[in-house]
């Protein structure tokens, strides 16, 4: 496969460059009942990290040349890994996870050096002392290496319960696709990862009582001009020593460790053009972070020939039985996977 052919295969899935002036007022299409029309099939994949690398200091935006260079480097890497000869792994060794063929995090940066746009550092604000304690307690209880005495020793995404449905709807390693649908009084978002729908009433109804927490929280939306503003509360939180969503740098669902409803996530969806919805989120939890923080990136329309497929996570979750089965074999041998 030539490099030009490879680019044709992956180029349709790359993100459009997000510049500081890209979110501008344009004629927004309307639904038959008069709401701004956000409907479409989108991807939010990008190689831009959530937090700005410390080595970049206060550099907020990439130049056009840097964007092109980063994208070319990712394209070259993908082609090199695609054409690399297979490598054999041995029983008892590190068999690794998915190889690059199965990953789909995109090839293009957004134009920012981080998804976080505020604070100006491009990084999450400091955690409170109690927030730091809860994160340390969680990390101690859930090391990557195990041991795994039961399914409850694995994170929520390992158990196919929660992944990147949000809020906030952050990019993941793969399955970064969404369908936004609208009816009068309701916006629905289908998330390709795992199995989730987000149902967002926009008819003025109140949030459900805070005594009823949900994994993805309770969302209510309203229009501010052509922007859909969604406020989410009632996000279910687990104790610090309970499972969270593995790989989630925010670890929002153990951000409190109590039943108090202290987390608020505010999202803003604005159609920029026929192919782009600008997405912005703000997270507030004074029990976990010393300040609120905000991120932004584009949702870009997928080509018409790219479809979303069922992610049968539970049905295909052989890793759960294999991990627990391997742990039982280690126990029979009188050792652990840390020896």
Helix, strand, or coil (residue 163) = coil
pTM of the predicted model as reported, rounded to 2 decimal places: 0.86
Position 38 scores a pLDDT of: 98
- Which of 252, 203, 274, 329 shows the shortest CA–CA distance to 29? 274
Q: What percent of the chain is modeled with pLDDT above 70?
A: 86
Domain spans in the chain, listed from the N-terminal domain onward: 29-82+104-332
Structure letter (DSSP) for residue 253: G
> Is the preceding omega at residue 289 within 30 degrees of 0, hence cis?
no
- Which of 59, 5, 8 shows the shortest CA–CA distance to 303? 8
Residues 6+ apart with CB under 8 A from 310: none
CA distances 194 to 162, 164, 176, 238, Å, are 8, 9, 11, 20
pLDDT digit string (tens) for 233-264? 999 887 766 777 776 778 787 766 666 788 99
Position 140 scores a pLDDT of: 78
Question: In the structure encoding, which two tokens stand for residue 317, read together?
Answer: 């979750």
Mean pLDDT of 79-83: 93
Label residue 182 left, alpha or beta by phi (over 0 means left) and psi (-120 to 50 means alpha): beta
Question: In the structure encoding, which two tokens stand for residue 21, read together?
Answer: 């002036």
Determine the length of the chain: 339
Question: In the structure encoding, which two tokens stand for residue 320, read together?
Answer: 């759960």
- Phi, psi dihedral angles at 189 (to 5 degrees): -125, 120
Residue entry with tokens 């293009």 = 108
Euclidean distance between CA atoms 140 and 157, whole angstroms: 18
């Amino acid at each position: 496969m030539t490099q030009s052919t490879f680019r044709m295969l992956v180029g349709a899935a790359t993100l459009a460059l997000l510049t500081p002036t890209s979110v501008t007022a344009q004629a927004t299409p309307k639904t038959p009942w008069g709401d701004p029309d956000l409907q479409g099939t989108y991807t939010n994949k990008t190689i831009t990290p959530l937090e700005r690398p410390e080595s970049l200091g206060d550099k907020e935006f990439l130049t056009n040349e840097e964007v092109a260079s980063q994208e070319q480097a990712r394209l070259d890497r993908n082609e090199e890994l695609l054409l690399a000869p297979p490598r054999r792994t041995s029983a008892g060794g590190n068999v690794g996870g998915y190889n690059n063929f199965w990953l789909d995090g995109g090839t293009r940066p957004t134009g920012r050096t981080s998804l976080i746009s505020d604070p100006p550092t491009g990084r999450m604000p400091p955690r409170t002392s109690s927030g730091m304690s809860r994160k340390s307690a969680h990390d101690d209880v859930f090391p990557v290496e195990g041991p795994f005495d039961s399914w409850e020793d694995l994170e929520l995404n390992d158990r196919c319960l929660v992944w990147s449905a949000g809020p906030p709807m952050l990019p993941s390693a793969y399955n970064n696709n969404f369908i936004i649908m609208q009816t009068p009084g309701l916006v629905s978002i289908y998330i390709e990862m795992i199995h989730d729908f987000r149902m967002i009433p926009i008819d003025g109804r109140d949030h459900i009582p805070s005594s009823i927490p949900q994994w993805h929280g309770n969302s209510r939306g309203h229009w501010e001009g052509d922007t859909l503003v969604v406020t989410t509360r009632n996000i279910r939180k687990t104790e610090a020593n309970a499972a969270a969503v593995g790989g989630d740098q925010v670890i929002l669902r153990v951000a409190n460790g109590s039943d108090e409803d202290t987390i608020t996530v505010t999202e803003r969806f604005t159609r920029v053009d026929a192919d782009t919805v600008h997405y912005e989120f703000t997270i507030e939890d004074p029990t976990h972070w010393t300040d609120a923080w905000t991120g932004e990136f584009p949702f870009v329309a997928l080509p018409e020939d790219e479809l979303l497929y069922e992610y049968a996570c539970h049905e295909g979750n052989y890793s759960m039985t294999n991990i627990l089965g391997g742990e039982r074999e280690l126990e029979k041998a009188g050792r652990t996977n840390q020896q």
